[in-house]
Amino acid sequence: MSKTNHSASKLRIRLLPGLAWKGIASNKNVYYPYLAAGIFSVFTYFIFASIIYNDIVKMMPKSAYMLILMVIGKGLLAIILLLFLIYANRFLVKRRRREFGLYHMLGLEKKHIGGMMLFENFLLYVITLCGGTVFGLVLSKLFFLLLLRLCRMPAEIGFVFEPAAFRETMAYFGIVYLINYAESLWEVGKARPIELMSGSKKGEKEPRFLWLYALIGMAALGGGYYCSITAKVDSMIFMNFFLAVFLVVIGTYLLFTSGSIAFLKWMKTKKKTYYRPRNFITVSGMLYRMKKSAAGLSNICIFSTMAMITLICTVTLGIGLDEIVHFLDPYDLKMSYREEKVTEQDVAGKVEELEDKYGLTALRTDIYNEITLHVQQNENRFEIQTGEDYEAEYEIDILVQEDYNRIENRLVSLDGDETLIYCNGRDFGYDTVNFFGRIFRVQEELDGFFPYPKADDNAFDARYMMVVKDREARDACVRAWCEANGVVDIDEFIESDTIQRVKILLQGEDGKKAGWIEEFSEWGQSQPGFESLKNGLDWRENSRVTYGSLLFIGILFGLIFFMCLVLIMYYKQVTEGYEDRNHFDIMQKVGMSDLEIQGTVHKQILMVFGLPLAGALFHTVAGMFMVKALFATISLYDKRLIVGSIIGVSALFAAVYGVSYLITARSYYKIVRQGDAHR
């Protein structure tokens, strides 16, 4: 008897690989999209890993920032892909519960079902790993060139296959599929045969405290919106961003799973409207659908929001990249001198010599003395910094009237107690300035001061410029500051901290300026009193590498979010199709015609998939207040560009969402029509 059982067990084990392959093939309408998503996930991860591990990339100039961002992006990608593939795997197991129950009834033990699932997961792992790697090898050079293009780096560099990238990709997805297998094994192992035979008919349990969860959801969503709408560009901006995201995600989930059901149950209490034929069917049908689908719909809403915000940020950053780097530093060269100063005649002579040699004209050659002090603003008073209020802390540059007139080509005339004041952030807004006890009347608050463009949202890089009559007035301000800050040797401080600036802006493309800048830099560094140099060309190139890497990551993440969204929509359509196919008979028996049934169901499906889009649009609009503040941290203040990107991307996304819905809806109607054919 034991030999017979042993032989039967061996026979079952031999059947497992065939059953695994047959299980995938017979459920192709859910497995093929899952395989496609897995292949794309492997492809994306492999691209990130290949760029990071490639030695050629590491040897490229200006690549350090790019590699840091790519490593961070790969880490975030690993988290997103893990969560998404776990979600998709749960759907697959749920769809096949009845099939597993049937296998159990036919004599397979749960350990055999577990073995079959092991073969299935191994097949899925091999197919996705091979498919994603092949696509990665074919398209890696193209994506690498895209990255170089976005970073404004030379594209003549080759790109080779890195075994380390493949090993990491293989290990990561091996872990992902092991986690999915373990979860599937647990899900099937804990269920009784009768529960497996019930298939995926069991819906989401209605929360016990429905209205409480609905109210918590509303409060969380309102809190998230409040954090976003009231966001300020301060030291807490990033903490507030993560808090807003957390609250919106929690609020969205609770409102879909509890709030929608609570609202529909409230509609049922309105007897005059509920017991009308159309309303009765619509409300009852929607109540059933929301109980089954609320969690999935909340995921669609969240992924839609993530996709839209990612695309909006990517488009805005791509268009505004040059504006950012030139806002931060429009000069091509900046040099500083202390003590012994270079003469204006020497600078002008060298500039003229290089203009003739290189054929490039210097649009601006600004030479002036300034002293920079750290202050804290309290209304119209500038006081000692306490370190307690980041928003009120500024650097203030004090210039004399003569230098200002030369720089700005004006003929301003100030009295000893008058000043011009300018802030490249919020306006000063007062008629007098109290500078550590010295009172100045504001003759004019300036609208602009090159090279510090004005932006009301500028908080991180905001600074003040004060123009006073002469050196005597300037030194009096410095003395007042020194006395308040406890500086002992004030004369030495004034002498050492008064800096001569030499700033040059050339006309023409950056690529043609390098020789000019290099030769002037060598001359400038050889002059007496030289202290520091900043090459604007190199600085802008480094910035473009950083922001170009962000653009690249944004493009790939946008594709990932959209892939997740489409797959979730497709699976929801499949679920709705099987559910409606089983319920068409019931609806016919209560006297509804086929046309009425299809119209009602179509209306419900549109409402179900319209709700996440509407929620995502609201989330995006509210989130843009926070995004606008985040853009301010990288010195992008173009409100028209941001608003234009929001409108354009939202409209395009809504159109693509609609097309995706129509494409995935074909699977729904195909399943339903199969039910009609069986009847």
Integer Cα distance of 59 and 70 in angstroms: 16
- CA–CA separation, 211 vs 260, rounded Å? 10
Are 631 and 543 contained in the same domain? yes
Helices (H), ranges, 398-535:
401-408, 471-485, 490-497, 514-525
pLDDT above 80: residue 257:
no
Q: What is the mean pLDDT of residues 499-525?
A: 86
Best CA proximity match to 313, nearest among 649, 661, 676: 649
Give me 613's structure tokens.
């889009």
- Asked if the model's pLDDT at residue 441 lies above 90, the reply is yes
Residue linked to tokens 């609208």: 447
The pLDDT value recorded for residue 452 is 78
Question: How many domains in the chain?
Answer: 3
CB 41 within 8 A of CB 124: no
Answer whether residue 59 shows pLDDT above 90.
no
Q: Estimate the crossing angle of helix 97-105 against helix 64-95, to 10 degrees.
A: 50
Q: What is the pLDDT of residue 431?
A: 92
Please report the pLDDT score of residue 8 as a whole number: 43
Tens of pLDDT along 152-201?
Answer: 766 555 556 678 888 999 999 999 999 988 887 777 666 565 555 555 55
Q: Is the pTM of this model over 0.95?
A: no
What sign for the dihedral angle of Cα 418, 424, 428, 431?
Answer: positive
Express each pLDDT in 5-39 by its tens digit: 444 445 455 566 666 667 666 777 777 888 888 88
Q: Residue 353 pLDDT more than 60?
A: yes
User: How far is the C-alpha of 575 from the C-alpha of 586, rounded, in Å?
Assistant: 18
524 and 427 housed in the same domain:
yes
| Residues 578 and 527 both lie in one domain | no
- pLDDT tens-digit map of 476-491: 999 999 988 888 888 8
For residue range 634-665, list pLDDT tens digits in order.
Answer: 778 888 888 899 899 999 988 888 887 777 66
Pair (597, 499) in one structural domain: no
Instruction: Please tell me whether residues 471 and 553 are part of one structural domain.
Output: no
- Predicted pLDDT of residue 657: 84
Query: Tokens at residue 231, please?
Result: 């966001």
How confident is the model at residue 7, as a pLDDT?
A: 45
Query: Residue 261 has what pLDDT?
Result: 65
Parallel, antiparallel, or unpaired for β 333-337 and 530-535? antiparallel
**Model confidence at 678, in pLDDT bands (50, 70, 90)?**
very low
Amino acid at position 523, single letter: W
Higher pLDDT, 494 or 381: 381
* Contact (CB, 8 A) for 73 and 554: no
Shared domain check, 340 and 296: no
- Read off the amino acid at residue 58: K
Strands (E), 596-635: none
For residue 450, the model assigns a pLDDT of 79
Give the whole-angstrom CA distance, residue 234 versus residue 269. 48
Asked if 412 and 544 sit in the same domain, the reply is: no
Which of these, 245, 255, 243, lies nearest to 219 by C-alpha position? 255
Domain housing 35: 1-202
Of the three residues 485, 506, 538, the one that is the final residue of a domain is: 538
pLDDT cut 70: percent of the chain above it: 72
- Chain segment 224-249, per-residue pLDDT in tens: 899 888 877 666 777 788 888 888 88
Q: Domain end: 506, 538, 570, which one?
A: 538
The string of pLDDT tens digits covering residues 259-287 is: 666 666 666 566 555 445 555 555 555 55
Peptide bond into 451 cis (omega under 30): yes
Residues 544 and 618 in one domain: yes
* Structure confidence at residue 422 (pLDDT): 92
One DSSP character per residue, 110-137 reads HHHHHHHHHHHHHHHHHHHHHHHHHHHH
pLDDT of residue 4: 47
Q: 595-635, pLDDT tens digit by residue?
A: 655 555 666 666 667 888 888 898 988 888 888 887 877 77
Which pLDDT score is estimated for 382?
92
336 and 322 part of one domain: no
Of 289-293, 344-348, 511-515, minimum mean pLDDT range: 289-293
Q: What is the pLDDT of residue 5?
A: 46
Q: Which two tokens stand for residue 482?
A: 């020194």
Strand partners, 441: 418, 432
Note whether 355 and 420 are same-domain residues: yes
pLDDT, mean over the chain: 78
63: pLDDT confidence band, cut at 50, 70 and 90?
A: low
| Residue 97 and residue 32 share a domain | yes
Indicate if 211 and 189 belong to the same structural domain: no
pLDDT at 140: 75
Q: Which of 511, 538, 565 is the last residue of a domain?
A: 538
